[in-house]
Amino acid sequence: SEVYAMAFPFGYFTGLITLDAKKHLDDFVKNRLDKAIEFLQQRGNQNDILIPSGIDQMNVVRDIGATVEKINELSVHKNKISSYPEFIDIIRQKTDLLNYQGELKDPVYARVHRTITSVRTPIKLENFFIEQKILRRIEPLTVIARNNGIKIGSGIIVKLWKKVLECQAHDSLGGSVSDNVTVDIMHRFKEANELADSIENMICKKLADAIELNDHEVIVFNTDPFVFTGYKTVKLLTNSKKIHFIDADRAVILSEKYYPSRKHILRLVPKGEEYFDEPEYYELDVRIHVSLPSMGYKVIRFEDSLDALPERKNSEEVLRENVAINNEHYTLIFNHGKLSLKSKTKTYDQLIEVVDSANDGDTYDYSPLQGEKERVLPLDNAYTVIDSQKQTLVLLGMASVPLDLDDRNSVNPKYGHLNYKIMLTLTHDSSLIDGKIMIDNQAFSHRLRLKIHTGIKSDYAIAQIQNGFLKRENVPIPEDWAKKYVEKPVNIAAFDKSVSVADNSGNFSIFAKGLKEYEHVGEVIFLTLMSTTGQLGKPNLAWRPGRASGDTTNQGHIMMPTPLAQEIGHGEYEFALYIGSSKFDEQKVALRVRDWLTPSVSYQLQSLNFFINRLDNKIWKTESEIRPSREYSLITMEKSLIVSAIYPSYLDDDAYIVRLANPTAAPMPISSKVLANSKQVNALEDRVESKHYIPAYGMISLKQKF
């Protein structure tokens, strides 16, 4: 909520002592060091000045103590070798420090790269999904497993997080790296996903073995500490689609894969080896409606039946007009290229459009091409996919755009193609509109966005950020902005999971999985899908004058092409829309996002295919005295609480941590039942003073024994 901070208006190399500086120390002190100190002294109104002395890959300065002594002979100021902790201790004693509040991201002294949030989108998406996998699947599964006698050591969780953190250095997650480094980053994500999937597979297989599941049972997990009733998707391998669920209902096949029978297949038996004919089977993804205990699991049974499970059905025709779906909350209609929406209180004549523009930027920033305007891409036709619980409207479009930047102003341009499919799904009892857009991108250096008409004219948008919400108003940009700013202070901003607009009549929220950039203009919110480029760094951009970021125009450097940053090929982006008639509520939005991101975790113990899960062919059944129950719950909390994480203690084998978050502006009380049998700790698991509430925009961590 509050930190001490030092501004570095000259960067982190203000006092950089190069070999050349050591040779010409008088010039260094007079024209660089002393001038910087005086600037900082005047602007900061302080006599204690921090001078960082380093730069990327800088060698250790030999005899720096002797060098500082010589500097003091030349400088009008007293300089000493110090450290950040020592300097902070000095700052903590001061009583005249100014307080600043807000994002502090105006590019007055330095570039902040406001549009780096849409560079190399695949990196952003991979990071989002692996974080969600760890937080919502792997860590809570490890806690459930440990309390059922299956111990997965904390060390492997540490290894998993470290692999993800290796992808999160600022250039890596930003995407302002060479293609060679991008390959390494994506490979680290691959390793992290494989490690996470292996942990999950080990837990599920060992638990299924201990419970002694048969092949007509599936264990379904609930990794949240409150009772769940709703839809989960389970993966089954069966010899037939003619099955019936005993402990769940409303089952629908979402997808299937058929495996034909195979003859003369080897298997191991007690007497040695034998050969048999392996029967045909299906791999099914089935959506079921089920009730599950909190922070636990339940074994769901199914049986052979005379009737096959129902399946989703596509409409017979692809049409240009009057293609519609509806539920009790919304009606979506596609008609001659336009998507309209009717809610209970409002009609939206044009809900979503796909828009495209040239990108003359680089891997640090989007930048417009002079004379270019954003173009609305066509939606050509549509069809529906319907089952007993959900209806999906599928919109299809194709566009030709100039192939590359040179083609945008060419007399004889070449063209690239964009094929895209937007899927909007209504569930019969849900107030969310689920969305997915799939794009085959065959064009270079352009920005693709969703233009979403909210129907609400507001002076501000409300962006969800890490454990909180932030109102952002668009700030007028002066015509002569370059006189004050080193880059244009555009009203394009970052968000985490949701961005909303609201007025007295209601609110409109957009949720997104891994997309990080939006722009709010009038009643429209633009959601950036990709901002592709072919250069690491470029000089003299329309929105960023001067040198190239990334050193590509520095002495001895070269311009560096980045063909992978063009994101050629297939991409998928998931989002959702919510329209409410009540006042915007931070807690309710956070809860909707949490529920929207709830995973489906299940496991079937079967012998038809050992390669459906990552390690099934390598995890042998072992002797064990553990006999877990067929239904299990560890803890139960109020569903109104936001759980940031549940994970095994890193210090005690017999304990786990529950971290509760409050993403709202008001303190959130906690019942004594939740606090019972636990002690409050910090992130290092040190005991802290107990509170009966979560501070505004704050968190508390509870350490509990198994």
* 217-274 pLDDT, tens digit each: 999 999 999 999 999 999 999 999 999 999 999 999 999 999 999 999 998 888 889 9
* 317-362 pLDDT, tens digit each: 999 999 999 999 999 999 999 999 999 889 999 999 999 999 999 9
What is the CB neighbour count within 10 angstroms for residue 131?
Answer: 15
DSSP letter for 309, please.
P
Grade residue 10 by pLDDT with cuts at 50, 70 and 90: confident
Q: Which of 438, 422, 327, 342 shows the shortest CA–CA distance to 382?
A: 422
3-class secondary structure, 199: helix
What is the CB neighbour count within 10 angstroms for residue 502?
Answer: 22
Q: What percentage of the chain reaches a pLDDT higher than 70?
A: 100
Grade residue 316 by pLDDT with cuts at 50, 70 and 90: confident
Cα separation, 424 vs 437, in Å, equals: 9
Query: Is the per-residue pLDDT at 1 higher than 80?
Result: no
Core vs surface per residue 584-598: b (16+ CB within 10 A) or e:
bebbbbbbbbbebee
3-class secondary structure, 313: strand
CA dihedral of residues 474, 546, 105, 577 (deg, nearest 10)? 50
Residues 6+ apart with CB under 8 A from 219: 204, 207, 208, 211, 213, 297, 298, 299, 300, 602, 603, 604
pLDDT at 254: 97
* In contact, 393 and 323? CB cutoff 8 Å: yes
Phi and psi angles of residue 700, each rounded to the nearest 5 degrees, phi first: -135, 150
Q: Which of 276, 226, 224, 218 shows the shortest CA–CA distance to 247?
A: 218
Query: Is the per-residue pLDDT at 156 higher than 80?
Result: yes
* In contact, 203 and 138? CB cutoff 8 Å: no
DSSP letter for 33, please.
I
Core vs surface per residue 92-115: b (16+ CB within 10 A) or e:
eeeeeeeeeeeeeeebeeebbbbb
pTM of the model: 0.95
Could you give the C-alpha distances from 538 to 260, 639, 679, in angstroms and in order? 55, 50, 53
Cα separation, 200 vs 306, in Å, equals: 34
pLDDT at 238: 97
